[in-house]
Structure 1
Amino acid sequence: MRLPSFPLNELPGAEPDLFKLLSSTFLIELQVSDECLECHNGGGVCQEKDQDFRCKYGKGKKHIKLILGTAIPGCTIILAICLAIIIMWRRKKRNSYFTSRNLSSDPSSTADLEDGSVLFGVHVFSYTQLEEATNNFDSAKELGDGGFGTVYYGTLRDGREVAVKRLYENNYKRVQQFMNEIEILTRLRHKNLVLLYGCTSHRCRELLLVYEYISNGTVADHLHGDRAKTSPLTWPIRMKIAIETASALAYLHKTDVIHRDVKTNNILLDDNFCVKVADFGLSRLFPNDVSHVSTAPQGTPGYVDPEYHQCYQLTDKSDVYSFGVVLIELVSSMPAVDISRHRHEINLANLAINRIQRGAFNELIDSCLGFESDATVERMTTCVAELAFLCLQLEKEMRPTMEDVLVALKDIQGDQTEGFDGLKIAKSPPSPESEHVVLLKNSEVTVSPDSVTDQWASSRSTTPNTSG
């Protein structure tokens, strides 16, 4: 602070008046440093001692500063936690947006808005459109039902014939199966896989899948159903079915997909008896860098891989086992499970293994195929039964791959001796008594209960043991 300074003899006026001077108005200039000004604005008091600047706060100010210093980081942490919870909730909601089936009391209330849109790469149909196509899901249009839903015949407005699968509402896994089929079928394209046309919206209470309509029923129906009574399948058609089904499964395995429910009820036939493999509700994407996937066994009794059932380890060889059962059905016309059979042979796989090990092919192969009257049919059906025997081995390492099975089937059809990957189908004259199976491992015969004539020769270490 500076005050004006004048010598008394230089004060203005004739006679200087000190009192008048002091009582008059004058300006005081106060110069404060930037540090002190900042301290003052913050509620502190500037202190300077020995040219050492200090900013002193009162006890109340210190308390406020302490509270602020503690509260700000705490609020930041709480805000971060709340933000993380919100993000996780929204992500969970997005991943499970199919789970609610009570979004609307009227299933078509919001679905109509979705007609024409695309979900996961497939067309989204409105509930009203599919209700109209199936005549309000008329029971007369029912094509069949299974563990996951009922399938109805329908005709779209553009004239396309479709099969509409209506998933059961009381099936708690219906959402997973719905998503599974869409994810699997939208990434696959094969002439022997059923084509998915579309589905309903995720906002629709009813989960519906729309497929191309395959007109000629299932293989099961032709083998031991109503269609078998009027026009049983000939052997050339059965061989064609085996090859086309194997081709579809080999393709699935190449694209890291395990079907997990291979059975004759899931193999559809068109009017030309071309195969369409269907029902991917249980299918799994199989990472190519792992040997197996651990999961609870699922599938249809009579077709489930026993090792998968015991060890909970799913591999592509699980499909191979199921396909082995399909091959036995094709040569025998018997169902996979029949409780009217002997208790040790209720499962067709057990019956087939018993007959093949005894060489009793005449007790296994359907006589209507010409097994006893046609030498070519006898040879081919016997070879297919032997191939099925390999697929049905209890240990998965002893089963061939689906690609190997496909090659072997084509060789059998073409009357060739080459089997798959070192395995040869050796043709030899039939025995006067019977034809049996011999499995050769490194040129050594693994003896079966009886002598044999037809042989499986292999140098592979995965040759099955005939004693099982």
Structure 2
Amino acid sequence: MVPSRVVPVVVVALWLQAVGWGEAAVPLNMALPGCPSSCGDMAVPYPFGIGPGCYLDGFNLTCNDDGSHRPPKLFLGDGTVEVLEISLENTTVRVSSVVDTNGTVVPGVGTGNGTWGSGLAGAGPFYLTGQRNQLVVRGCNMQAVLLDARNSSYVVAACTSICAYVNSNPGLPALASQPMDHCSGVSCCQTSIYVGLTSYTVQLSPVGDMMPSFFFPAMGLVFIADAEWFDGNATNLGPLPNEEKPVVPATLDWTIGESDCTGRDGAPGSGTACSSSNSLCRDATGLSRSGHSCHCSPGYEGNPYIPDGCQDIDECARPEAYSCYGGCRNKPGLFSCFCPEGTQGDPRIRNGCIQKLSIGLFVGLAVGGGISLICLVPGIIYFMHKLKARQAKRLRAKYFKQNRGLLLQQLVDKDIAERMIFSLEELEKATNKFDEARKLGGGGHGTVYKGILSNQDVVAIKKSKITIQREIEDFINEVAILSQINHRNVVRLFGCCLETQVPLLVYEFISNGTLSEYLHVEDALSLSWQDRLRIAIDTASALAYLHSSALTSIIHRDVKSANILLDHRLIAKVSDFGASRGIPIDQTGVTTAIQGTFGYLDPEYYQTSRLTDKSDVYSFGVILVELLTRKKPSAFMHSEGTSLIAHFNLVISQDKLCEILDPQMISECLEGAKEVATLASRCLNLKGDERPTMRQVEMALERLLVENKNTEKGRSAELNCTLAQISNNNDENSRQYSAEQSLLLSASFPR
């Protein structure tokens, strides 16, 4: 186990400030009289200004026109932050944030501090706009947390970037140095910022404990970027390390003063900065914002912060923008659009006004057309029916091919495949056309609905959200695998529907949720020891069947408590086979891309990319620890910075199991818990060859269940548990992790 340490990561020096989008040209009456109205090609609208008397307090700008920049550039305040765009309408500013590849992390602490510049940490008008920005981490096995500088325990964003390496090829370059198209968690991650800030602290820490030191990249980037500019595309940053410093735009919000629009009734007046007639005042919104902003009334444009700054828009001079292609008459704040005399139709569409027909001509055309229509109606109806049927057939064929129906027929017995095919009409009827009231839940990959088939079977219907090739491959993989499985502890697949753009899966309905939901509740008591032991046996039985009893050895590859469903009798059902892989009987493993969930992932598989049945054994060992401790593997961190599994192995080696056990287990069956902990430790062996098989694990648990029923084992004295140990563990177990901490301490690998 590698001890927690500070990762040598380079922090981006974020210096942000300013105001929203901008206009390229300077409209009339945008700056105060006698004040500069532009700097280079940037407009300078009041309340911003250059020079004394030209701006409101906190909105001063600097124009660098000394020849060092061509054209001259506009900077915020004292001239350290370049302003890229200013918008009065959006009350936002886009500024340039230069990525500093020479920045450092404070030694031994792992934090980097940054503020938004002068005036922002106090009563300044500028705030980081969480809705428009992303926290981005570029590098390997690092975790960045954005904290409120005023309250270092308040997390506003967290992001984890993880890389995979092959030990046998130490000469491979780090993934962080390779260009990539997407920022999805491997070598680059991104996350939303949900609270605006005026100052921040960046906290950095390493992720994982098995990464060889010669693979760790010497540099990384942690920065905030405008979400629209970045859009998950890491190619905007180039490879790392890079001698050229990328310039990253970020967006800030701003407000006027600290007073709101109370008593103004939406009209300009005293107490606000809205000086123009035909302007409106709006209160600032958000947790960290106060004050107001001014906007021109509908039908007007310009600058609401100066007298007569809002001018009427001549909509008739802009037919494309206001969609008026007939006659147009401008009015103050309004306009009317109509067809010219002698024409009729819709003047808001191009060529929408047509010449009016005379009554005689209209009657003649109507009579002739009516007779022709009567003759053509039967033919038109027949033709439309045929056309609709042909189009529906082509569309079904297209979706069938797109959803890899031919591949499914090759992977699954033809007779079985035909029985498993559901029509879209049948599933729409079963779910009342996928009514929201039938929704059971959803996640990143799709939504699950409760349905009732015509034979009254209650089913769960999984509807995918997207149709990218990888998702379809996972869909076909899950159908092919589940069609070969018949086991009481594996969720049953009734069939699928291939007639839609997104494929649908039809499972048996499991009513009681997941094992994770049962374990991780706020109550002091959860599942009894007897129930936990039986659920572990059910899960082990299913995995043992998959490994050794199916036609092809099947590795689940994503064993976790959230993928173990419980029915009304608390019988466990293993689910979600999208990431599973089949391995021929004569092979012991296969080399494949890493998939799984952080916290449950086999470290040997993570390091070598070699997938075997012992990878599932390791993940099952994590579940046994979760059953014993009621702690989430992805959310637990000991005070010494170690993960749940690392801390578990430590207390086992020191014979201090009581320090980590769920207090409920101490009171119910502690001796049995000790035997399960010993079995879990064997499953968690770093060397896969030294782990037991799932069949051996199943037999050990069944023996323990029989002993548990026939003996009086289980008192705390038999394990020498002191009251202090039990009390200490009870306090730690009752600790509630916030959503921010869970996000900070968890990560997922691609599915």
Q: What band does the TM-score fall into relative to the shorter chain?
A: 0.5 to 0.7
1:430 aligns with 2:730: no
Partner of 1:244: 538
When you count helix as a share of all residues, which structure comes out higher?
1
Partner of 2:447: 150
* Contact preservation (8 Å) 1:325, 1:388: yes
Alignment of 1:147-296 (within 5 A): 147-201=444-498, 203-225=499-521, 229=523, 232-254=526-548, 255=550, 256-296=553-593
Report deviation, 1:205.
Answer: 1.5
Partner of 2:17: none
Partner of 1:403: 695
- Structure 1 distance, partners of 2:494, 2:432, is 19
Partner of 1:378: 670
Alignment of 1:340-351 (within 5 A): 342=639, 344-345=641-642, 347-351=643-647
Report deviation, 1:137.
Answer: 2.6
- Structure 2 distance, partners of 1:281, 1:409, is 28
Report deviation, 1:335.
Answer: 1.3
Report deviation, 1:431.
Answer: 5.5
For 2:691, give the aligned amino acid: R
* Contact preservation (8 Å) 1:122, 1:199: no
* Secondary structure in 2 matching 1:412: helix
Task: Give the alignment partner of residue 100 of structure 1, picking from 402, 426, 437.
Answer: 402
- Structure 1 distance, partners of 2:429, 2:721, is 62
For 1:360, give the aligned amino acid: K
Report deviation, 1:216.
Answer: 1.0
- Structure 1 distance, partners of 2:575, 2:404, is 29
- Structure 2 distance, partners of 1:158, 1:431, is 55
Report deviation, 1:261.
Answer: 1.0
Change (3 A) 1:271 1:433: closer
For 2:680, give the aligned amino acid: A
Report deviation, 1:135.
Answer: 3.1
- Structure 2 distance, partners of 1:119, 1:167, is 23
For 1:411, give the aligned amino acid: R
CA RMSD of aligned residues (A): 2.8
- Structure 2 distance, partners of 1:290, 1:385, is 31
Report deviation, 1:148.
Answer: 3.1
* Contact preservation (8 Å) 2:554, 2:583: yes
1:389 aligns with 2:389: no
Partner of 1:362: 658
Report the TM-score when normalising by structure 1: 0.61
> Once structures 1 and 2 are overlaid, which stretch shifts more, 265-274 or 126-135?
126-135
Change (3 A) 1:207 1:342: farther
- Structure 2 distance, partners of 1:159, 1:315, is 40
Task: Give the alignment partner of residue 426 of structure 2, picking from 102, 125, 129.
Answer: 129
For 1:363, give the aligned amino acid: E
* Secondary structure in 2 matching 1:257: strand
Partner of 2:438: 141
* Contact preservation (8 Å) 2:638, 2:644: no
- Structure 2 distance, partners of 1:119, 1:244, is 27
For 1:297, give the aligned amino acid: I
Report deviation, 1:118.
Answer: 6.2
* Contact preservation (8 Å) 1:344, 1:350: no
Change (3 A) 1:339 1:275: closer
- Structure 2 distance, partners of 1:244, 1:136, is 35
Report deviation, 1:101.
Answer: 6.7
Change (3 A) 1:409 1:152: same
* Contact preservation (8 Å) 1:218, 1:269: yes
- Structure 1 distance, partners of 2:418, 2:624, is 35
* Contact preservation (8 Å) 2:630, 2:662: yes
* Secondary structure in 2 matching 1:150: strand
- Structure 1 distance, partners of 2:671, 2:445, is 40
- Structure 2 distance, partners of 1:309, 1:292, is 14
Alignment of 1:449-468 (within 5 A): none
* Contact preservation (8 Å) 1:163, 1:212: yes
Task: Give the alignment partner of residue 331 of structure 1, picking from 621, 624, 628.
Answer: 628
Identity level (%) = 42
Report deviation, 1:344.
Answer: 3.2
* Secondary structure in 2 matching 1:272: coil
Partner of 1:306: 603
* Secondary structure in 1 matching 2:632: coil
- Structure 2 distance, partners of 1:257, 1:102, is 21
For 2:505, give the aligned amino acid: L
Report the TM-score when normalising by structure 2: 0.39
For 2:646, give the aligned amino acid: N
Report deviation, 1:351.
Answer: 2.7
* Secondary structure in 2 matching 1:289: coil
Report deviation, 1:412.
Answer: 1.4
* Secondary structure in 1 matching 2:469: coil
Report deviation, 1:231.
Answer: 6.7
* Contact preservation (8 Å) 1:246, 1:405: yes
* Contact preservation (8 Å) 2:671, 2:718: no
Report deviation, 1:433.
Answer: 6.5
* Contact preservation (8 Å) 1:243, 1:410: yes
Deviations 1:63-84 (A, max 9, x none): xxxxxxxxxxxxxxxxxxxxxx
* Contact preservation (8 Å) 1:248, 1:277: yes
- Structure 1 distance, partners of 2:674, 2:404, is 55
For 2:534, give the aligned amino acid: K
Report deviation, 1:102.
Answer: 13
- Structure 1 distance, partners of 2:675, 2:446, is 37
Partner of 2:384: none
* Contact preservation (8 Å) 2:399, 2:500: no
For 2:488, give the aligned amino acid: K
For 1:386, give the aligned amino acid: T
* Contact preservation (8 Å) 2:513, 2:566: yes
- 5+ residue gaps, structure 1, are 1-95, 104-116, 417-428, 435-468
- Structure 1 distance, partners of 2:570, 2:681, is 25
